[in-house]
Chains A and B, each alone.
Chain A
């Protein structure tokens, strides 16, 4: 069951892709050899598996990747995969030889072969996958490697654009295919082909079958350049010719039709399949054939011819009949052989004459008769001339168009279209030969043409020989391969078919005859047709359209992004606050707001406080343009809040609030100094209205929430804290015990935040040079009295007093209102007062403390206190306390929490002063600069 030789088939070129770039330093030939050896090894490996596959076996390999989601590394080698793998490796080997002579000295050859082998691995993966998701993995990898190969000559704009166009179209198809495969897997219950191919009945009866089919077909059609997605392929011809010969005619573009063949047993045979696939194939067949005739670029002609032939193959599979599938597989082989050789011939012509323009290329027969002969054989095969391989599959195609049963009275459409396409094919094949090799003399070619290096022709010769061999003795050459491949495509008994060259005089032969004569006639009349074409069709450049479309799309995206993100902080905040109003409204819409708790009596003090709070909030907003006034109003808010804390018996909070308030006001005063005293009115009335709505809504939301919470009964873990504070935390002051013990971890985090914030502000201030205003907003100069004597005199004795108060607050904190945080702020304010009263230089000379280190020391002390509990086998921050007795002092209590609090104390001082002192330094720098001037 598990054939371990399958995996190396893919891995060889995958890892082998690294070799050519590595060998590049030994020369271009070494690089080519490295690539060739890798491919040859893979080919030999494949050939060793030939006989079991020809014996009708399906070789499988399975390894889990992500089995729960159906993605497995399972591989499959049956007739169809064998055929494709042979094409990929066989033609790949020839292309490697060809490219060695095609690429110039300046082209980085190691990279070329690296990409080529990468593509080869991906393509082998596509055809060897048993798991459909795995196939998709490789499918997308072929698109990616194709992108790299088309863009190989990256300095050329057409290469870059062609590469992106191809990636976009095939990438989109790949995504669609992904969706299709996922649906297919959902329907059939597995992503393994063995299961999927056996579930045709379930799949085709499923309501999602149409969607699935369309999604999968989108993938196949984009890859195989079917109408209306065909336009990327001509632009992919910006790639070096070996790439065009290999990817864009023989292998990668065949991935789409490969998919049609692979899923043929599961998906084909329905009316929908016929209409979608056959009509797309027919349109593509005709469109490609028509355009091929009118291209003056050799590769352009071949590109459209490729599109046309891919359409032909698609049409054959679209018929949904077993014979159609056989013919399709046969034409895949034949087209790969003759088209690859034609591309190579075109590449030789381009290489040796310097142009691909058929206006200039004439009469090359005299210069390169050998190449011309090879090209003629291949072109004859493309035209479907008897005795060449193209003829055989084309006859089968003509015959098949006569035997379909879907169209009823309109059945004649198919053979008509097929014959018409045949006419065009003959005409452009003649043109390819006659225009280039005969038809007068060359017209100012960049170079004098001559035969290419010997080895450059070898790949063409081999392919052309195959054209002949298959064409003349099909039964001895291609028959077994075709039979194996076709039978694994159909997944059942092969229908009867004959590879004979002569079937007697019948309708297909007549159609061929018409095509031959019509084609010759059409070529004879070509000049009239060119004129007519030029009149009817304006030149249409898909790449330009794509680029323009993309450009417009980008402009659109940019416009949309700029509309959404206009860089306005007001808008972003507005969106946030608006969202708050919206979600609160939605949540509270249908709910009783008030709870069962009755509201308390309103007393006068509370009422006054509330009114003061509301009034100061209002006046802050109203006077926000007068910054100093607004600041004073703001401080009223803080004060009232402190009073409220006192009113509700929370002295700790009141003290904290008060000291925070002071520090904040000092901070804001320092900042305001540098700002203009007044803000100009900027908002339009519309905007004011919006802001009023937002503010009102947000205020109402929060008020509603507060009302809802306060009117409901209140049961919290707070009671536990009340009970446990003394026995568990060793302190009477519950607030402090919560801060340093119950939730000491929060405090540690917040103190860290304080420290980080201080460092952040320090970073902002570093290197900041602000212009110091000489006067206030009204034009009054600032007071010249820099350090008021009275303030200085009072503040100095105040410092030791304040420090004593701070230490007292800290020590008693565990049992009475106070604690490290408050004490820290009190100390900081006292120290700041020295800066304010006596100047930075004076203070610094007397107190040179590195505040960063002070802050860090504080946090470190708290952290280490927490770590200390590990020594006693307790978790981080577990506190311990005990009662001690000292003479004179008497009985007292010591708790580790106090050590923690000391850390908080130091950190608060450090970070507060770090910010304030450095903000103050800004003025110092300014002053020094001013004095220097």
Chain B
């Protein structure tokens, strides 16, 4: 058994703990440790991507307890992809933060590493209760990160964020309780088998549990009507934190993809595709309302937050179709939107810092002294995020548009996607015009640009969408394979439960009542 799989969890955990042990004055050393740890995640994730690319599942049984009794980590193509994405996003974010944002409080880097641990764990785990645990790690770490730097707006947004998510956690537990009560297991592969074999008398309860889980994940992913907390929270966070948060909603999307293909997917008997009927209309409505929110936004951070919501609508609409094409497209789009919106949050931070008192608000203010680099980055980022050619947003949108089967669904999807695309273009052109073109004669008052903060922003905003677009073919081939793997969950189940671990007959019979 190769231990590589657990390293993306243990590595950030260890560095987070070491960062807590260090003296608070040793910021430079902490930065180095944090950067190094985050940097190491990238080759690690790439190696795991390589491991998963042959289509085999890697299963890691914690404590050497075989599934379904112990907790297992499962590496498939999707999990590996999410690990790579996390590493790709985290590195620029922590790099950016290390140029000063991390000094506005204590323990930034430790919290950042715990957050990474939570993310990686959520993507790797093959156990539903363990997913809950990693959701908790994520939630608490993100809450602390959200508050980082202090201030009234952050405290208020943070309170809403944490209370809603704690309510979500309780729901998660209730759903898990029902699932465990009916099926007697928490292992996802085992659940898949039990749910598929469920009789009609149990279907109602399982259905309720499935929909409660959907609510939990939809709250995380920010789906209508549960996304209202997001714009305030994301726009209150400091730039590198908001950038990392770009993947937080995607954890919800990931969980939906995982659970509703593996456990409640097409093969789930009476409970096949229970989520789709809810997801489709809500996702489309989210897509539209997100774009409207973007138009209403009064500052860049809020605008980007709404674009995150738009992307969630786009993703979940595609996911609800449950076709290999749509899923492959959704995974590509997920890569694109996470990196670009993360970069745009960094860019908003740069603009805010550089523009002086006006910040990133869409109001007339003094000219920025070093406008060209920011302007170019904004333009490229806007083109990418609005889904205009030739960057990855266009490729992703194109792939998703073609993935919807012809007919009524296609008409709805195209109308909503293209309509919200137009609203997004209007919102972004207005934002760019206000920030970069409409200036008054007052003297510029912002801080100088830090090239070392510009570089990670450039990576996310410009380099990532360009490379994703240029190498769309290999990336899509991978996401296509990942989607194909997801839609045949029998392989997952067999890999986790193996042939040698059927439930002993005695245990099956002797139930506790």
Contact = CB atoms under 8 A, between A and B. Distances in A.
A6 B402 CA distance: 28
B204 interface: yes
A677 interface: no
Interface stretch (A398-406, A715-723, A840-848): A715-723
Contacts of A186: 406
A171 B427 CA distance: 12
Contact residue range for chain A? 35 or more
A859 to B, nearest CB: 6
A370 to B, nearest CB: 37
Contacts of A702: 174
B433 A151 contact: yes
B219 A875 contact: no
A860 B17 contact: yes
A870 B140 CA distance: 29
Given A164-B433, A583-B215, A713-B511, A569 B160 contact: yes
B25 interface: no
Contact of A705 (B13, B155, B205, B379): B205
Interface in A720-772: 720-721, 723-724, 728, 741-746, 749-750, 752-753, 755-757, 759-760, 763-764, 766-767
A709 B206 CA distance: 10
Given A141-B390, A708-B204, A863-B14, A852 B422 contact: no
B214 A876 contact: no
B21 interface: yes
B201 interface: yes
Interface in A829-865: 852-853, 855-857, 859-860, 863
A867 interface: yes
Nearest to A877: B63
B164 interface: yes
Interface in A110-149: 133, 136-138, 140-141, 144, 147-148
Interface string B13-38: 11001101100000000000000000
Given A141-B390, A743-B71, A760-B144, A69 B399 contact: yes
A684 interface: no
B512 A719 contact: yes
- Report whether over half of chain B's contact residues are helix, strand or loop; otherwise say mixed: helix
Contact of B20 (A554, A753, A856, A863): A856
A42 interface: no
A893 interface: no
Interface string B156-172: 00011001100110010
Nearest to B3: A870
A746 B133 contact: yes
Contacts of B17: 856, 859-860, 863
Nearest to B428: A167
Contact of A553 (B180, B226, B295, B473): B295
B160 A588 contact: no
B33 to A, nearest CB: 13
B136 interface: yes
Interface in A33-69: 64-69
B208 A584 contact: yes
Interface in A569-609: 569, 571-573, 575-577, 579-580, 583-584, 586-588, 590-593, 595, 597
A857 to B, nearest CB: 7
Interface string A476-509: 0000000000000000000000000000000000
A776 interface: no
A160 interface: yes
Given A155-B439, A557-B292, A746-B71, A178 B184 contact: no
B43 interface: no
Nearest to B440: A155
Contacts of B228: 564-565, 571-572, 575
Interface residues of B, number: 123
B62 A876 contact: yes
B414 interface: yes
Interface string A63-82: 01111111100000000000
Interface stretch (B110-118, B446-454, B459-467): B110-118
Contact of B184 (A172, A569, A717): A717
B207 A71 contact: no
A553 B164 CA distance: 31
Contact of B69 (A138, A163, A721, A874): A721
Interface in B417-441: 418, 421-422, 425-426, 429-430, 433, 436-439
Contact of A742 (B69, B105, B406, B421): B69
A171 to B, nearest CB: 5
- Residue picked from B184, B205, B289, most chain A C-beta under 10 Å: B205
Interface in B151-200: 155, 159-160, 163-164, 167-168, 171, 174, 177-178, 180-182, 184-187, 190
Contacts of B110: 759
Interface in B216-254: 219, 225-226, 228-229, 231-232
Contact of A65 (B6, B136, B208, B472): B472
B510 interface: yes
Contacts of A728: 65
A714 B137 contact: no
A140 B389 contact: yes
A708 B177 CA distance: 12
Interface in A360-392: none
B499 interface: no
B437 A160 contact: yes
B280 interface: no
A715 B511 contact: yes
A713 B507 CA distance: 14
A755 B177 CA distance: 26
Contacts of B129: 743, 746
A855 B107 CA distance: 14
A567 interface: yes
B442 interface: no
Given A584-B211, A587-B207, A71 B201 contact: no
A318 B206 CA distance: 60
Contact of B512 (A160, A716, A757, A867): A716
A565 B147 contact: no
A62 to B, nearest CB: 14
Contacts of A572: 160, 164, 226, 228-229
B167 A67 contact: no
Contacts of B181: 709-710, 712, 714
A429 B329 CA distance: 54
B21 A857 contact: yes
Nearest to B306: A561
Contacts of A70: 402
Given A140-B389, A724-B69, A867-B10, A65 B433 contact: no
Contact of B422 (A175, A724, A879): A175
Given A719-B512, A745-B63, A554 B480 contact: no
Given A591-B204, A753-B133, A560 B163 contact: no
Q: Which 5 A-B pairs have the closest CB atoms?
A: A591-B204, A716-B184, A709-B181, A760-B144, A137-B389
Given A575-B225, A863-B17, 16 more contacts: A65-B472, A68-B477, A151-B437, A160-B438, A164-B426, A171-B425, A175-B422, A178-B398, A572-B164, A710-B181, A712-B202, A719-B510, A742-B63, A743-B71, A743-B130, A876-B62
Interface of B: 1, 3, 6, 10, 13-14, 17-18, 20-21, 60-65, 68-71, 105-107, 110-111, 114, 117, 121, 129-130, 133-134, 136-137, 140-141, 143-144, 147-148, 150, 155, 159-160, 163-164, 167-168, 171, 174, 177-178, 180-182, 184-187, 190, 201-205, 207-212, 214-215, 219, 225-226, 228-229, 231-232, 278, 289, 292-293, 295-296, 379, 383, 388-390, 394-395, 398-399, 401-402, 406, 414, 418, 421-422, 425-426, 429-430, 433, 436-439, 472-473, 476-477, 480, 504, 507-508, 510-513
5 contacts: A171-B422, A705-B174, A714-B184, A745-B63, A856-B20
